[in-house]
Structure formats: C-alpha cells, structure tokens
Chain A
Amino acid sequence: RKEVEQDPGPFNVPEGATVAFNCTYSNSASQSFFWYRQDCRKEPKLLMSVYSSGNEDGRFTAQLNRASQYISLLIRDSKLSDSATYLCVVNLGGGSYIPTFGRGTSLIVHP
C-alpha cells in the first residue's frame, strides 16, 4: 500500500458544481496535512493547511478524519480557474519529519 494515495481522476465537472477529493494515508503517526495546487508546467503552491478541526477558506473546505486516515478537499461553486492538479501532503511529526506527496487528483472544470 502506498503511503499517500489519491484518485488521479480526472474529475470533469461543469462550472458551479461542487466537487470533493479524498486522500488516504497509511501512517497513523502523521501529524500535519496540506493541500497543494499545481497548474500545468508550474510549481506546486500551497492551497490550505488541514487542521484537526477542519479548515475553510472561501469556496474551499478541508477536513481531516484521523480514525479513517484520510483528508478531504471540497470545492464549492467550481470556477474554470480551479482546473488544476490537487496534491495532498502528509508529514510525520517530531524528528522524523518527512513530507510525502500524493500523486495528485486532476480537476477539469468546463463551461
């Protein structure tokens, strides 16, 4: 089993739709979690951190489920500009801090 797994997609949705991605992780000792966005031929950019209590930023909501070992990203009212690849990152804590990226989920928002 891979340490961090994501459905590669693509998720093809119309403008205005709500779409959700999940990311599962295998190490129960993981302590910090993030979502990044990567546009074609660009570097990954931080979208949001994922806190135990959940995190919301405008149309984006991230949640953590420690019991089932996954994080989620919900995008409401999708825009054409949301088309990108969404990468989840899981970090072990303490002295063995090693960030592990998922392979990413591709989102295509069409008119």
Chain B
Amino acid sequence: DARVTQTPRDKVTEMGQEVTMRCQPILGHNTVFWYRQTMMQGLELLAYFRNRAPLDDSGMPKDRFSAEMPDATLATLKIQPSEPRDSAVYFCASGFGNYEQFFGPGTRLTVL
C-alpha cells in the first residue's frame, strides 16, 4: 500500500531555530505539493514541483521558507528562522499530472 511519508510527525522548537521537514512521495508520482493548514487560514498551498522542478511557490514566504527536491524520492521544506506564527500542520502530497493528490500524515509544528 503506497503512501506518502513525512518526518518528523511532531516538532516543537523555539523561535529563531531552523526547521526542516521531509517528505517521501509515492514512487512514480511526478508532482509534489507542500501545504500549511491552520484553523484560521485552512489549507494553503505553499509550493509544488513537477518532475522535481519548482512550478509555483507564490504562496510561500520567501524570506524564511524554502522548498527543494534534491531527488525524486525526497522533498524538503525548510523554515529559517522560525517564528511562532509558523505554528501549523504542514502536509506534503504527491500525485501524477492533473489528477488526485495523496497526502502524507503531516508534520505538526509548534514554534514557541
């Protein structure tokens, strides 16, 4: 049963620290998405990749967030420096083309 995996599942850190979240997409999928979900904003698209190339990151705060896909089996989302307002659940999802996405279990980030 192929699944998207994300690590860590929970992260508590202090303001100013660097946070790196990792995602392993489903093998064979060519699109990868990063989302942030909060009660106030709902599910926001931060970035997405197709065939490892970044296609859109307009939803991502550029000054502190960065997203990369060093290879087809790994996507990373980094926050440096982290702030309390970054506290949220971060989801990675993968898919193929314009079809449905499959979500990972998420990383619950708390920045103190």
A and B assemble together: yes
A: residues with CB less than 8 A from B are 31-32, 34, 42-46, 49, 87, 89, 91, 93, 97-104
Q: Per DSSP, are chain A's interface residues mostly helix, strand or loop, or mixed?
A: strand
A-B contact count (CB 8 A): 45
Given known A-B contacts A31-B98, A43-B91, A99 and B42 have beta carbons under 8 A apart: no
Q: Closest B-chain residue to A8, C-beta based?
A: B42
Q: Per DSSP, are chain B's interface residues mostly helix, strand or loop, or mixed?
A: strand
Interface residues on chain B, number (Cβ under 8 Å): 21
Q: Which residues of A contact B98 (CB under 8 A)?
A: 31-32, 91, 93, 97
Cβ-defined contact, B106 with A99, below 8 A = no
B63 at the binding interface (Cβ < 8 Å) = no
Cα–Cα, bound, A93→B98 (Å): 7
Given known A-B contacts A87-B43, A98-B45, A104-B42, A45 and B103 have beta carbons under 8 A apart: yes
Q: Closest B-chain residue to A97, C-beta based?
A: B98
Cα–Cα, bound, A44→B56 (Å): 21
Question: Of the candidates A32, A43, A49, which one forms a contact with B106 in the assembled complex, judged by CB atoms under 8 Å apart?
Answer: A43
What is the CB-to-nearest-CB distance from B58 to chain A, in angstroms, rounded to a whole number?
9
Q: Which residues of B contact A34 (CB under 8 A)?
A: 100
Q: 0/1 per residue, B28-58, Cβ < 8 Å to A?
A: 0001010100000011010010100001100
Q: Closest A-chain residue to B58, C-beta based?
A: A98
Cβ-defined contact, A100 with B45, below 8 A = yes
Q: Which residues of A contact B33 (CB under 8 A)?
A: 99
Cα–Cα, bound, A46→B4 (Å): 13
